[in-house]
Structure formats: C-alpha cells, structure tokens
Structure 1
Amino acid sequence: MSRVFEALCAHLKTHPEAEVQDAVKFLYQASFGGGHFLSDPDGAYQYLLKEAEIANRDAPYTEALGEQYARINLSALQELSPKTLFAMFKASSEDTPTDKTAFLSLLDELENADLFDKAEKAAFLKSYRAAGCPAVHHSEAYRRAYHPAYRVVKKAYADFLSAFIAIDKLTAEKAPVTVAIDGLCGSGKTTFAALLQSVYDCNLFHADDFYLPMPMRTPERYATPGGNVHWERILSDILEQIPKNESFSYRMFDCGVMDLGDAVQVTPKTLNILEGSYSTHPELIGRYDLKIFLKTSPETQSARILKRNGPARHKMFVEKWIPLENLYFTSYPVEKQCDLVFTT
C-alpha cells in the first residue's frame, strides 16, 4: 500500500460519511496539491477571509495528504495570520505537477481496495476517467457532515506550522524580529529558511558565509567549541546592526579567494533570519526573539550530505565538520535553549 493510500485510509476512518468522490479528491490533492494556478490572487484572498468566518474552529489544524502535500484547516487561523496561510497556498500552487501517472496508479489502488460499494465505485471511476480525471468537489454528504474549510499546501508548511505561528505572533507584536535556525548539518536548516522566505518578506543570512579568516584558523581556535565560525563578525556585522532598523552592509566569506568578498547591502525588514550551525553560539544566543533547532538521525544526516556534497566532501564532513559540530552541541545546551525543536 502506498503512503498516500495509507493516508487516505486513515482519513476515511475519521470521516465515515465520505463518498467515492471525496476519496478521489483526497488522492487528487495528494498528487497535484491545490490543482491550479491562482489566476486572481486578490479574489482568492478575499474568499479565504470570508470562508474563515464560518470555518469549524474545532478542526485539527493540519492533515497530511501523503508525503508531498497537506491540508491546513482554516481553524489554524485562530493563531496563524491569513496572509501567511495564503502565501503558503500561493507558493504551493506555482509549480503544480502535471504528470498523471502516479495519480492514475492511485485510482487503480482505490478501485481494487475494499472501500465503498464496489459497483458504485466502479461506475464513478469509469465516468471520472472518461472525463479526463479533473479536479472534483466534495460530496454534499461530506460537506454536511464535516463542513470542510482548508487550503492545500506543500507538506513542509504543515510540518513547520508551529514556527510560522510563532513568527506571526512575534511580528504582530514588535519589529524588527530576529530568528535563529541552528541544528545538525544535513538537518535541513537552509531548506527550512528558504521555506520561511517563500512566505515572508525577510532578510536571510547564512552562518556559512562567516567562515573563519585564514589567520584565525589555529588549533587553539578549532579546539574551542563553536570556534570554527567567525561568530564575532556575525555579532558585529549582523546581529548588532538589525536592532538599529537602518540599512547596513556586510561582507561574505568567499571560498574562491579564501577572503572576504564584496559588500552586501541590507535593507531593514521586520523579519530577519540567521540560519546555520553555530547561529545560537553562547555569544549570540541572547540576540534572538525566536530560536529554532533542527535535528535528524545520523543515518539520514549521512545520506543527505552524501547526496548533496558527493563522496569526497562527505568524507570531510565525517572526519572534520561533524566532530566539530558534536563538540559544540555537547559543550553547550543548544537544543534545550531553543524555543522550537523539529526532527526532519
């Protein structure tokens, strides 16, 4: 049984009034997300606001549609900003898959499963396939029983929903807001930061742009937990500048010349994110409004680094960078000091 079909079966157990077309809709959304590009974003946002007024406030915030997509129920708007949810929905709709191969396999799986009346299911699926397998609405029975009100988004948005809620709360209360994303290499910090940037108009900084300059690369420095990042410059060039709410510039380390590169100009924004290992170094941790930690299993970490960096650099990570990270994580209570922790 596929992961998507497992999710469907779990959904049907909690939604016994669902009909065949509701199952098809579930599988369609699991395959294609929202299923369409937003041709009228302003109108779609206004519709979201109207629908939120009558949404079931007791519905669970999220429901996975398999491994790629999820439903975020409008009940989440009790804590999540409508603008944030709409941005998630819009971003998730911009690269809708078009290949129907996997979806057609799911329909076959549905037809062969011991679900619904067999003759009724076969008749519906025959007619549905003949029509070209379009998007469908929920059945009237489903609507009466469950009053569905949700938006389909990429699953990662649902997985990190508590982080979006925390950021929405902070940015509604103050400005500027500064967020740190620390964690193990290969845990998805950069990917998560890009996910946040797809929703928020924010400044994003990377700890990897603050490598140690050559004169500081001494055995004594590397022996210091967290010493293999130039935290002094992160502090002076970034974290001390953000609260001033003024334009500033900084220079990223350029590995091509093993020295600092050209200046990068920064415009003041409400949200500012620093991602990367060592971003919550003891000398930096007090500068953040929200601290997030990402972790993963050693097996997953190794597989991701190998896929991302290739065998030669994977060996370097195993022999050098991971031990230095582990020294940092065992020397300081990094994970415990973070406000949110995610396992990826």
Structure 2
Amino acid sequence: MSWVNLAEEIRSLPPSCGPVRIVAVDGPGGSGKTTFAGRLARELDAQVVHSDDFPVPWDEPPAAWFTHVEDRILTPLAAGEPGRYRRYDWVAGRYAEWVDVPVAPALILEGVSTARRAAPIAYAVWVEAPRGLRLARALARDGAHLAAQWERWARAEDEWFAADATRSRADLLLDGAAVPGEFVRLRT
C-alpha cells in the first residue's frame, strides 16, 4: 500500500468525532509512531496531536494524559467546534504555547494509548519494533540518564496494551524497525 492509497482509504471512512476522522497512531515508546504520523499527516494534510504535548509524570499510567485530549480536543470536535490545548514543554518543565485544533476532515492522535477502546477512532495504526531498538531510540532522543524511567514506562505500557487489547484492534499493523519514512505492513 502506498501513502496515497492509505490517505485515500482514510478519507473514504465516515467521520468518527463530529465531522472529523480521528486516526490513532499507537504503539510502545520508541517504535516509530512520530515518524509515521508526521508522514501520514503530510499526505492527509492533517494536524498531529502528540501525547508528548501533555504532562504525565513517569509514575502515572500511560493512559493518564488522555483526559486532556477528551476535554480539550475530542469533546469540542464532537460538537463541531475547534479544540485547543496548551502544549507542555518537558525541557522547561512548564506549559508553553496554546495549540489550536481546527475542525478538519482528519486529525491524527499520536502516542501511547491513542487507539484506546473507548476513543472515537475512525482508523487505528499500531507501530511496533523490538524492545531493545525502542529503548535505544528513546535514550538517544531523551538521554541515557532516563534509562530506569524508560524501563518502568515500558512495563507500564505492556500492562496498558494487554488490558486494552490495543494491537488486536488496529486496522493496520506496522513494523517500526523498517527504514524511516517507509512502512512495512505486518497485516491489516
């Protein structure tokens, strides 16, 4: 499947949240979700909302951030109104700029627990990669000093994904260990 075909398939779906088709790009940390979501957003001419834009302490479950998305983005979109949220700056340790989320044909939610069972998802993508590769990517991005936190986070992700059965409900399974910018389908 090409990027064009995937975008056409998503555009052909009925809206799932008011007039918007919500596309969830989910999977464990470091699997390649952000890269995939960015490329798909260009093809769909859609905005990406990243789970990393919301403050969630390391000791909270991976799904804790989603109430912000429900309150500030999904509820307004369901009513046909634009959403808005304040991005969290992890480096500065405080909230940064406001981000507007207009009513549009498609919106991509990217991050751990975006394809949750109870979310108004039109299309769910699951991206996976071997645990060692994911950890290496995360530590290269965030710093080796966070290794212990990333190990705890990975265990919490495993628990979340098992409880929510996220992978088994995905419309598209992808190999995130493939060449960046390309996607290798595991199954549909």
Short-chain TM bin = 0.7 to 0.9
Q: SS at the partner of 1:230?
A: helix
Q: Normalization by structure 1: what TM-score?
A: 0.45
Aligned pairs for 1:141-290 (under 5 A) are: 163-170=6-13, 173-174=14-15, 175-212=19-56, 222=60, 225-227=61-63, 229-282=64-117, 285-290=118-123
| Identity within the alignment, % | 25
Distance 1:206 1:273 in 2: 8
Flag the structure with higher strand content.
Answer: 2
**1:201–1:269: 8 Å Cα contact kept in structure 2?**
no
**2:34–2:111: 8 Å Cα contact kept in structure 1?**
yes
**1:226–1:281: 8 Å Cα contact kept in structure 2?**
no
In the TM superposition, what is the alpha-carbon distance from 1:336 to its structure 2 partner? 1.0
Q: What runs of 5+ residues in structure 1 fail to find an aligned partner?
A: 1-60, 62-71, 73-83, 86-160
After alignment, is 259-268 or 232-241 more displaced?
259-268
CA 1:253–1:310 in structure 2 vs 1: closer, same or farther (change >3 Å)? closer
**1:292–1:341: 8 Å Cα contact kept in structure 2?**
yes
**1:231–1:281: 8 Å Cα contact kept in structure 2?**
no
**1:184–1:277: 8 Å Cα contact kept in structure 2?**
yes
Distance 1:218 1:266 in 2: 26
Aligned residues: 173
Specify which structure has the bigger relative contact order, considering alpha-carbon pairs within 8 angstroms and separated by 6 or more residues: 2
In the TM superposition, what is the alpha-carbon distance from 1:257 to its structure 2 partner? 4.9
Distance 1:304 1:249 in 2: 30
Larger radius of gyration: 1
Aligned pairs for 1:80-119 (under 5 A) are: 85=4
Flag the structure with higher helix content.
Answer: 1
In the TM superposition, what is the alpha-carbon distance from 1:338 to its structure 2 partner? 1.8
2:151 matches 1:307: no
Deviations 1:228-251 (A, max 9, x none): x32211111111122333333211
Equivalent position of 2:165 in the other structure = 333
Distance 1:261 1:288 in 2: 28
Return the match for 1:316 from 136, 145, 149.
Answer: 149
Instruction: Give the RMSD, CA atoms, in angstroms.
Output: 2.5
CA 1:246–1:313 in structure 2 vs 1: closer, same or farther (change >3 Å)? same
After alignment, is 292-301 or 187-196 more displaced?
292-301
In the TM superposition, what is the alpha-carbon distance from 1:165 to its structure 2 partner? 4.4
Distance 1:250 1:303 in 2: 30
Q: What runs of 5+ residues in structure 2 fail to find an aligned partner?
A: 177-188
